[in-house]
Structure 1
Amino acid sequence: MDLEYFKQTFHFSSDVTTPLYVQLTAYIRVQIQAGVLKPGDQMLPENSIADVLKVSRTTVRQSMNCLVEEGLLIRFRGKGSFIASQKMRRNINYLYDFTNDMISLGAIPSSIVLHAEVIQSPPDHVVQALQLPQGQRATFYLDRLRCANGEPILWEQTYIPYWLCKGIERYNFENASLYHTLSEQFSLNLDHATETLEAVILTKGEAERLNCRPKVAGYKIRRQSSLDSGFSFEFTASLTRADRCLFQFDLYKNPTANKPPVEIQRHITLLVPS
């Protein structure tokens, strides 16, 4: 969309009860839904829109903020605003592997490792979840940001009993898949997992990690993974923005082998940088 198209197709309503920024937001939303503005397209600069429409930049900024909060726009510092990709569906009724799932969605997965170390005293909730006995509480701790197309999607903190995977701290998990490494190098094969989901408000520090404003809604996902023996070998706490991840539950009155009691699907909005 260029400025000339914008100028010809958008006009403010004479309805004074509808704020200007609301009208502008609605117009841009329709252009995105109609495919005029496509995922990855760069949005016109705010000052250019303000000049063409003869409104204040504050009005335009309010509109852009609304679109960002709706997940329709994404801002990249120093580059501008871009149209976000459409929400993408991922079935999590089956075991979840971020790397493989992002590839299956056509996204480029990557990780930023913040910490990877062996800790002697994990948090109490981790000790309880993994049932770590006294004297065997050394744990491999992996703290990383999981990214799709270069944009943070999940902030994950993973704990694994160190006696199961001695030497794992030598691996570079910015490039390697954790589950693949556990399987191939340590013969630890994930069989099943239990996840809990909690709605939260992101703190300033959490928002900085996920490249968003503080005090926005998010999801905290706690995952406890087990081997086929039933032994719990992994605890992961993940955090994601609510506008980037949507959960859908399909419920059946009479579950069968082909129709599980609850089918869970996670929709992830992947961001498209320039």
Structure 2
Amino acid sequence: MTWFQAVVLGIVQGLTEFLPVSSSAHIRIVSELWFGDDAGASFTAVIQLGTELAVVIYFAKDIWRLLSVWFRGLFSASARREPEYRLAWYVIIGSLPIAVLGVLFQDQIKSSLRNLWITAIVLMVFAVFLAVADETAKLARDRLTLRDTLAMGFAQALALIPGVSRSGGTLTAGLAVGLQREPATRYSFLLAIPSVFGAGLFSIPDIVEGDPSGRFEASVPQTVVATVVAFAVGYACVAWLLRYVSKHSFMVFVWYRIAVGAVLCGLLATGVVSPT
């Protein structure tokens, strides 16, 4: 990998992580179309640490309150009655599906699931799911229940497949169960923190030793640069998306996903791009 490639992929990660368009799919597509090879699942997971750090900093006060109330709630009955205590447990519970499935299917995540035919089809199929959820959303509630948590947690686990989108999957599930767009988006951000940090830290040894899923390897310094770039771009995108979803639907992202998936299918069908 060149330094230019590292910077470009960092920008792509920062721009797409929080949008319901699948950052892992975009890293896969851009690295293949522009640079002629796959940057790899481990590189993708590690640079996501940058965008997730942006979430931690942006929501630092919320996260600190969640953690402090959760720790107090372990010993204090009064703290357990606070909504933040319940929300902290919802983040923990909602993170379990992706953690378990990520470990069980780690070999497939680094190999067969990176096939571009899968990415293209999944982009379009889950665009339809997002459209249906967005158009039929009741937007009735601003507080989560355990049912909402499980639905969004399992939806997040589907993002192990490039093309689903972690935010897209969780937002689709959140809208489907009746949550308003902004609280669903905030919970989606919080829910991603344990899973993204877990996957990124778990993948660091692959970068040091050589990513088996990537065909043009990034050095440790290049990965650090891509992660820093992803952090800077991602921080700006967090604030923008929260403002956007409070006043707009997600249909622009639906049509974008369909367009990208359709173009990719055309390139694959004509042999311009290799699926693996």
TM tier, smaller: under 0.3
Higher relative contact order (CA 8 A, sep 6+): 2
Calculate the TM-score normalised by the size of structure 1: 0.24
Q: Higher helix fraction: Structure 1 or Structure 2?
A: 2
TM-score (normalised: structure 2): 0.24
Q: Which has the higher strand share?
A: 1
- Structure of higher CA gyration radius: 1
